[in-house]
Amino acid sequence: MADNGRSPEQKRPCHHVPQPGDVNGSTVDTGCGTVDSGCGTGDSGSSGAGGSRSSSECFDEEEPKLSRVRRRTDSCRKNRPPFPWFGMDIGGTLVKLVYFEPVDVTAEEEQEEVDNLKSIRKYLTSNVAYGDSGIRDVHLELRKLTICGRTGNLHFIRFPTQDMLGFIQMGQDKNFSSLHTSLCATGGGAFKFEQDFATIAGLELCKLDELDCLIRGLLYVDSVGFNGLPECFYFQNPSDPDHSTKHSCSLDNPFPMLLVNIGSGVSILAVYSKDHYKRVTGTSLGGGTFLGLCSLLTGCQSFEEALEMAAKGDSTNADKLVRDIYGGDYERFGLQGAAVASSFGHMMCKEKRESVSKEDLARATLVTITNNIGSIARMCAVNEKIERVVFVGNFLRINTVSTKLLSYAMDFWSNGQLRALFLEHEGYFGAVGAFLELLKPSEDL
């Protein structure tokens, strides 16, 4: 975040000053509703992940890359983008959408507001489910947020990436393009669906790097807090997962941190400052693997269903433990009897395959994937000499089994050196980062 440590409530004049190199400078004074046609095309070619990466590096510098964000100034308050304000993160499995609902709309403003815009606001804020698969995470809503001179609520919405084309179609149906807004999007889908947005809905995306957005969004949400409460939490007494308890904490001095983002796959970043980070490694064994394997093994239809099954299962019916082999601990190597020696190891045996339940298999899948992520994260933390490990991503949503297991693994294998931290808005930071990008230049100036 640009204003890390500075209260976002602080009202600052937002105005757009043309900058050297700002190819769109000439469009500043165009009237309300005029589309800045100059920035779109030249932009789309260069705004690949590589380009936007550097935007993170010069976030605060003299020349904000205005060209990155399509900017249409509204006639009344020239210096901020017109509504609606969205940020979008199109992942491999889920699309995450944040929507800013202004609550300080004046009567005059409301008069001016086009119907279209009104109906979008209404549709999004009065429903908690959209179509068959869209869901608004009401409990995550950030209320009375003041940003860029406006106060409003930030809504968090998700739907499966599979339904992306339907979403774009809806954009077309609702004539979204007539609003001439910038649609800031990150995640792989921003690239993959760019063409569809353009051809179906006549919308041009502003594509942003997902890791840039992730970090920016995370730091921002942490800095504004969760409606007065801290965003961050950890588990106290992690060595006893049955009795460990969730505790809030602040991420006051977050650097360096190892950021483990568990989406469909996993990316592990070492973050040294708000604009200095590197991707250490990643693994393809992530949330997608959990759900994919679970649906093959149990026929479950959704993440929720998979987790429900896992909650009821016993992984030791599928996994072979150290004590199954050695009768107890393997002392020569300091391995506890209860440690998993071979994930799904019992399933080599026909009798055990016949007696295992779907719930057991779901649990074993969850435990396997989680432990593996924990193990890789721990190794990275040691290699990078970082003690703070922050886990985010939608795999952790409603997934206490995994969060507790990760807390346990970090604590146990490091003899208490490492602490696993989690964030309430686990999967939404990329979308928030994209949303902030939309507002960024006005924030900066």
Partner 1 sequence: MAELDRVEKSSHSLDKSITLPPDEIFRNLENAKRFAIDIGGSLTKLAYYSTVQHKVAKVRSFDNTAKEASSEKLYEISVQEEITARLHFIKFENAYIETCLDFIKDHLVNTDTKLIKATGGGAHKFKDLIEKKLGLKVDKEDEMTCLIRGCNFVLRNIPHEAFIFTKHADSEFRFQNTHPDIFPYLLVNIGSGVSIIKVESEDRFERIGGSSIGGGTFWGLGALLTKTKRFDELLQLASKGQHTNLDMLVKDIYGGSYGSLGLTGDLIASSFGKSATTDKEFSKEDIAKSLLHMISNDIGQLACLYARLHSLTRVYFGGFFIRGHPVTMHTITYSINFFTKGEVQALFLRHEGYLGAIGAFLKGAEEDNPNQYSWGENYAGSSGLMSVSPDINPMQRARSGTFDMLEMDRLERKLVNLPLLEDPSSYVPDTVDLTEDPLAREYWLFCFEDALDGVVKRAVASQPDLPEAVERAEKFRQKYRHKLQTLRQQPFAYGSLTVRSLLDTREHCLNEFNFPDPYSKIKQRENDGALRCYQKAVAALDALGWEEKQFALVRGVLAGNVFDWGAKAVSDVLETDRDFGFEEAKQKLEERPWLVDSYNQWLQRLKGPPHKCAVFFVDNSGMDIILGVMPFVRELLLRGTEVVLASNSSPALNDVTNGELQILTETIAAMDPIIQAGLKEDRLVLVQTGSSSPCLDLGRLDKELTIVVREREADLVVIEGMGRAVHTNYFARLSCESLKMAVIKNTWLAERLGGKLFSVVFKYELPTPPPPAAPPMKEEEEEEKAVFSP
State the catalytic residues.
Answer: 210
User: Which tokens go with 200?
Assistant: 């179906």
**Measuring CA to CA, which residue among 278, 283, 255 is closest to residue 267?**
283
Say which residue the tokens 């433990």 belong to: 321
Residue 315: enclosing H or E segment and its boundaries? none
Query: What one-letter code names the amino acid at 108?
Result: E
Geometric angle at alpha carbon 403, from 401 and 406, rounded to 5°: 105
User: Which tokens go with 346?
Assistant: 């019992």
Cβ closer to partner 1: 272 or 326? 326
Say which residue the tokens 């809503």 belong to: 141
Instruction: Give the shortest CB-96-to-partner 1 separation in angstroms.
Output: 14
User: For the chain, what's the residue count?
Assistant: 445
Instruction: Give the shortest CB-189-to-partner 1 separation in angstroms.
Output: 7
* Rounded-to-integer distance, Cα 290 and Cα 331, Å: 32
**Measuring CA to CA, which residue among 188, 215, 209, 192 is closest to residue 65?**
209
Cβ closer to partner 1: 20 or 50? 50
* Rounded-to-integer distance, Cα 321 and Cα 336, Å: 9
Instruction: Give the shortest CB-38-to-partner 1 separation in angstroms.
Output: 25
Radius of gyration (C-alpha) of the chain in whole angstroms: 23
DSSP secondary structure, 50-75, as one string: HHHHHHHHTTTSSS--GGGS-----S
Question: Exposure of 188 by Cβ count < 10 A (0-12 exposed, 13-18 middle, 19+ buried)?
Answer: middle
Instruction: Give the shortest CB-292-to-partner 1 separation in angstroms.
Output: 3
Instruction: Give the shortest CB-433-to-partner 1 separation in angstroms.
Output: 15
DSSP secondary structure, 168-207, as one string: HHHHHHTTGGGG---EEEESHHHHHSHHHHHHHH---EEE
Cβ closer to partner 1: 124 or 214? 214
Instruction: Give the shortest CB-260-to-partner 1 separation in angstroms.
Output: 14
Cβ closer to partner 1: 229 or 349? 349
Instruction: Give the shortest CB-391-to-partner 1 separation in angstroms.
Output: 17
Cβ closer to partner 1: 170 or 325? 325
Q: Say how far residue 322 (Cα) sits from the centre of its chain.
A: 37
* CA distances for 340 relative to 102, 107, 319, 358, 419, angstroms: 51, 63, 6, 19, 22
Cβ closer to partner 1: 117 or 297? 297
Cβ closer to partner 1: 90 or 124? 90
